[in-house]
A and B are shown apart, each in its own frame.
Chain A
């Protein structure tokens, strides 16, 4: 907080607290309502008006964005930042008892860097070491808030699934030795068939578990007082999936495995909310659309492992043209900082429009995460999550100038640049102090040894 005020003073009174703001003279790419040359009005954290001529509340802070561009804050549907400790609980093939919510690290500098890349919301996922991984959640990049303050309130929580090489631990043969030279314990499954079996087995258990709880709840409703069943955190998460209260985000590459998962889900009566990576999605786009799953993929990353050999950069565009809701994700703290140019690639590979391209990092991931009523486009009533670029945002040369979340400025390039000197100064002072407090080594000519 103290640094916040300090930075505000340095940065020419940047508005850090939510208040009325008007962003003027900008080119506004709303994504859902076309392009507007004019203003965005922000009040109480929400977008109050957008247009050429707008009504401005008295005393509103003016941000003059002459010659600049405003887009909805970028949404990354696949990220692993802001996590303390490993993103994988990889000891078991089903680790649904663990929860990213427990290990949010609001001090991870990657949050700030993502923010500086225009990202305002990210889906923070467990890793892909297990067929059924840990619980996940959606965060807003509210740098400076505590862990609870980052959580996208009201967003449906998720769970990570994974198919293919990672959950069968390719490269970690049973009984062999991993990178750390520690013996690697054999862990089922070691084949793709085993991955399917693991998911089936887990949901068979989850159904039994759900039935036990349903029976218990029915008997308490009748006024009886039985002992409740044991609460099992692993199965509890899968019960929530069966009840539609938790979204499945499934890491996958290869077409036949994608079909396998969709069929298993249909059979057990749950939905796959998003297919992640889904590099062969273009081969089975119709089936993906029929299931109602979203696809969150890479722009043009391929051949980095066997199951990525059949990937093509036209994947996103093809799936999109087949009617699948497609987003482009980062899966990486660095790539996360320039998702705008990742989006631009679908204009080259697949000939999508500027709006379709931007949608893949804004409204489409919002739809996939079930938060499109709140974020993903510049519309009246939505959260004022906005990124202001100095140049055309799909250009390599565009730099983020300011980022607002809930109507508050969380990143301001000028403030950042002018604040660097203060931080360097503080650091130098402390290093100097440390040096002086340490015992000095004796000089050669001195006494002693």
Chain B
């Protein structure tokens, strides 16, 4: 069986004489990392290797902090694969994304207003839905991810995200680093949904968001008043949708176009909720950086760049804007970095290492520095979610999530040698042959075992 943890009964592991990209500080050209009990016990150039440690000779190897995917569905196999929207250049949260009813959504009569809490399962915690058997856990771990912030994905308020470590374990609870870190909000609408149920328009979705946060405020007030004086205050009706909304304050809002960024930033400010925007297809536009700076909002940039339509109608006219999105989209991270906007990169359904490297390389070619790309996939997402004290860099005391490579992490020919999650070692799974049908051999023949 591939990918199972090796040597989890070991007392300590020391990777010595390796190049260490700590992310939090300067890279060490020849250093040692010691791992014990799932944590990093020591890092440095002159570290005493404990007498009980198993030793990895790190000569020629590089140690990176494990990658963090800040918006993912890994671990919830029932979640709609995000690739489903790729063809439209939509990514997560776009209008017209098919959203089949979730198992957790009570199927009932059509919603007749916000009070019916349509497409809302805000009380659902991703941590409770994790299935350790999801094959994507191993796939993305082999790509270099050791942590995902996994969200339920169906509905307007799909549920609360959880930070999970991608360990192979029988008990999903062991994977959970933090169970409730944010509300995933989608404005996606089932195609042809018609007028059947509220909300049926973008303004309906936004009206609903506004009403539910007003209701949550009022619910809070009523509950407090009742707690103070249960003998004379009317008991407020229990509302699980509002309980869920109150449990995770942070909201993730979709924004690809500059117009959507503006709209969502203003909405978040009005709702007085800390917000992270995701998408950013037009993040390269100068207006985007100016806007994001003004609102000091952190953003998640999709690594699924806009692409030219496959087999396009030769008569069809591509708009200048869509051509610009394809041409300049990958410059988004470099430009946001230059402008001083806090951003992290999310895989948006790209699972295979080969595809991930290709996507990141596009950003590098468009001007993003390697170290900035790595930070945007490690320490920055950890900071966004307030877990930089335990994740995101190679530092003493942090969770021992590491990726060990032969070569630069995002070079095409780099081989991932081993991955550590919670201090346990994994070997990358062999990659399936590329599905492009170009008829060539694997780009990394050495990986196939």
- Chain A residues within 8 Å of B, Cβ to Cβ: 1-2, 84-92, 95, 97-100, 102-103, 105-107, 126, 129, 134, 146-148, 172, 178, 180-185, 187, 227-228, 230-234, 423, 426-427, 430-431, 433-434, 438-439, 448-449
Query: Does B447 count as interface, using CB distance less than 8 angstroms?
Result: no
User: With A129-B195, A182-B192, A233-B207 given, can you name 19 additional A-B contacts, CB distance below 8 Å?
Assistant: A88-B195, A90-B201, A91-B196, A99-B203, A99-B206, A102-B207, A103-B202, A103-B203, A105-B259, A146-B259, A146-B262, A227-B222, A230-B218, A232-B211, A233-B214, A427-B318, A427-B320, A431-B323, A438-B308
Residue of A nearest to B323 (CB): A430
> Which of these binds chain A: B29-37, B107-115, B336-344, B383-391?
B107-115
Among A98, A129, A148, A438, point to the contact of B203 (Cβ < 8 A).
A98
B194 touches A89 (CB 8 A): no
Residues of B within 8 A of A105 (CB): 259
Kindly identify, within residues 189 to 212 of chain B, every residue whose CB is under 8 Å from any CB belonging to chain A.
192-204, 206-208, 210-211
Query: Does B55 count as interface, using CB distance less than 8 angstroms?
Result: no
A to B CB contacts below 8 Å, 29 in the list? A2-B286, A88-B195, A89-B200, A91-B110, A91-B199, A92-B113, A95-B198, A98-B199, A98-B206, A98-B207, A102-B202, A102-B203, A102-B263, A107-B257, A129-B195, A134-B207, A182-B192, A183-B196, A185-B197, A227-B221, A227-B225, A230-B215, A231-B214, A233-B114, A423-B320, A430-B327, A434-B323, A434-B326, A449-B439
Residues of B within 8 A of A146 (CB): 259, 262, 287
Complexed CA–CA distance, A228 and B194 (Å): 36
Residues of B within 8 A of A98 (CB): 199, 201, 203-204, 206-207
Residues of B within 8 A of A87 (CB): 201
Residues of A within 8 A of B438 (CB): 439
B194 touches A178 (CB 8 A): yes
- The interface bits of chain B over 214-240 (1 if a CB of A lies within 8 angstroms of the residue's CB, else 0) are 110010011001000000000000000
A89 touches B218 (CB 8 A): no
Residue of A nearest to B95 (CB): A85
B218 touches A86 (CB 8 A): no
B320 touches A84 (CB 8 A): no
Complexed CA–CA distance, A181 and B262 (Å): 35
Complexed CA–CA distance, A98 and B207 (Å): 5
Q: Which of B194, B203, B221, B286 has the most CB of A within 10 A?
A: B203
A91 touches B320 (CB 8 A): no
B194 touches A182 (CB 8 A): yes
Given contacts A227-B225, A233-B211, A448-B439, contact A426 B195 (CB under 8 A): no
Complexed CA–CA distance, A85 and B286 (Å): 25
Complexed CA–CA distance, A178 and B112 (Å): 19
Complexed CA–CA distance, A181 and B206 (Å): 27
Residues of A within 8 A of B95 (CB): 85
Give the interface size class of chain B: 35 or more
Residues of A within 8 A of B412 (CB): none
In order of increasing CB-CB distance, the 7 nearest A-B pairs are A85-B202, A90-B195, A86-B201, A430-B323, A91-B198, A89-B204, A98-B203
Residues of B within 8 A of A185 (CB): 110, 195-197
Complexed CA–CA distance, A126 and B207 (Å): 14
Query: Does B324 count as interface, using CB distance less than 8 angstroms?
Result: yes
Kindly identify, within residues 221 to 269 of chain B, every residue whose CB is under 8 Å from any CB belonging to chain A.
221-222, 225, 257-259, 262-263, 266-267
Given contacts A89-B198, A90-B195, contact A431 B318 (CB under 8 A): yes
Residues of A within 8 A of B206 (CB): 98-99, 102-103
Complexed CA–CA distance, A12 and B258 (Å): 30
A228 touches B201 (CB 8 A): no
Residue of A nearest to B321 (CB): A107
Q: Nearest-CB distance from B355 to chain A (Å)?
A: 16
Complexed CA–CA distance, A96 and B259 (Å): 24
- Chain B residues within 8 Å of A, Cβ to Cβ: 95, 110-114, 192-204, 206-208, 210-211, 214-215, 218, 221-222, 225, 257-259, 262-263, 266-267, 286-287, 308, 318, 320, 323-324, 326-327, 438-439
A89 touches B214 (CB 8 A): no
Residues of A within 8 A of B263 (CB): 84, 102-103, 147
A228 touches B218 (CB 8 A): yes
Q: Nearest-CB distance from A438 to chain B (Å)?
A: 6
Residues of A within 8 A of B210 (CB): 97, 233
B259 touches A90 (CB 8 A): no
Q: Nearest-CB distance from A283 to chain B (Å)?
A: 32
Residue of B nearest to A172 (CB): B195
Q: Nearest-CB distance from B112 to chain A (Å)?
A: 6
Residues of A within 8 A of B222 (CB): 227
Residues of A within 8 A of B320 (CB): 423, 426-427, 430
Among A97, A106, A129, point to the contact of B259 (Cβ < 8 A).
A106
Complexed CA–CA distance, A89 and B118 (Å): 14
Complexed CA–CA distance, A448 and B318 (Å): 31
B196 touches A182 (CB 8 A): yes
Complexed CA–CA distance, A449 and B196 (Å): 50
Residues of B within 8 A of A184 (CB): 194-196
Residues of A within 8 A of B262 (CB): 146-148
B111 touches A91 (CB 8 A): yes
Complexed CA–CA distance, A233 and B206 (Å): 12
A85 touches B203 (CB 8 A): yes
Residues of B within 8 A of A181 (CB): 192
Q: Nearest-CB distance from B119 to chain A (Å)?
A: 12
Complexed CA–CA distance, A433 and B327 (Å): 8
B439 touches A92 (CB 8 A): no
Q: Which of A86, A106, A433, A449 has the most CB of B within 10 A?
A: A86
Complexed CA–CA distance, A148 and B266 (Å): 10
Among A85, A148, A182, A227, point to the contact of B193 (Cβ < 8 A).
A182
Q: Nearest-CB distance from A127 to chain B (Å)?
A: 9
Residue of B nearest to A435 (CB): B308
A91 touches B259 (CB 8 A): no
Residue of B nearest to A147 (CB): B262
B207 touches A86 (CB 8 A): no
Residues of B within 8 A of A84 (CB): 202, 259, 263
Complexed CA–CA distance, A228 and B202 (Å): 29
Residues of A within 8 A of B110 (CB): 91, 185
Complexed CA–CA distance, A426 and B195 (Å): 41
A97 touches B114 (CB 8 A): yes
Among A91, A180, A431, A449, point to the contact of B112 (Cβ < 8 A).
A91
Residues of A within 8 A of B193 (CB): 182
Residues of A within 8 A of B198 (CB): 89, 91-92, 95
B200 touches A90 (CB 8 A): yes
Q: Nearest-CB distance from B286 to chain A (Å)?
A: 7
Residues of B within 8 A of A430 (CB): 320, 323-324, 326-327
Residues of A within 8 A of B323 (CB): 427, 430-431, 434
Q: Nearest-CB distance from A185 to chain B (Å)?
A: 5
Residues of A within 8 A of B218 (CB): 227-228, 230-231
Complexed CA–CA distance, A184 and B262 (Å): 35
Residue of A nearest to B322 (CB): A430
Complexed CA–CA distance, A184 and B193 (Å): 10
Complexed CA–CA distance, A146 and B110 (Å): 35
Residues of B within 8 A of A178 (CB): 194
Complexed CA–CA distance, A431 and B326 (Å): 10
Complexed CA–CA distance, A85 and B107 (Å): 25
Given contacts A178-B194, A180-B192, A431-B318, contact A85 B201 (CB under 8 A): yes
Q: Nearest-CB distance from B328 to chain A (Å)?
A: 9
Complexed CA–CA distance, A449 and B318 (Å): 30
Residues of B within 8 A of A426 (CB): 320
Complexed CA–CA distance, A183 and B194 (Å): 9
